[in-house]
């Protein structure tokens, strides 16, 4: 890792288990789970990892917008 780069850290560390589960749920929806072996994502192409991350962000924004709208 280059100088000055930071690792991703959760703001609320207690959410780690829920976020991990959320990641695997989204990966399943996107169709990536067959390639994940024992929690190792290193063999997953960047495009697929990006799809998982993008869907996670999309769902989190949707959940926030629904909470703000009072739904």
| 28 within domain boundaries | no
Tokens 């739904």 found at = 71
| 21 within domain boundaries | no
| 7 within domain boundaries | no
DSSP labels, 8-53:
---SSGGGHHHHHHHHHHHHHHHT-GGG-BTTB-TTS-HHHHHHHH
| 13 within domain boundaries | no
- Confidence band (pLDDT; 50, 70, 90) for 56? very high
- Is the pLDDT at 1 greater than 70? The verdict is no
Number of domains in the chain: 1
Tallying the residues shown for the chain, one arrives at: 71
Q: Could you list the residue range(s) of the whole structural domain that residue 65 is in?
A: 46-71
| 15 within domain boundaries | no
Residue range 9-55, pLDDT digits in tens: 888 989 999 999 999 999 999 988 777 888 888 888 999 999 999 99
Torsion, Cα 39 3 15 70, to 10 degrees, reads: -120
């Amino acid at each position: 890792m280059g100088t000055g780069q930071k690792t991703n850290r959760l703001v609320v560390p207690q959410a780690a288990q829920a976020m991990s589960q959320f990641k695997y749920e989204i990966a399943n929806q996107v169709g990536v789970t067959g390639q994940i072996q024992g929690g190792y994502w290193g063999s997953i192409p960047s495009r697929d990892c990006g799809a998982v991350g993008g869907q996670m962000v999309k769902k989190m924004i949707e959940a926030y917008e629904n909470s703000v709208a009072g739904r």
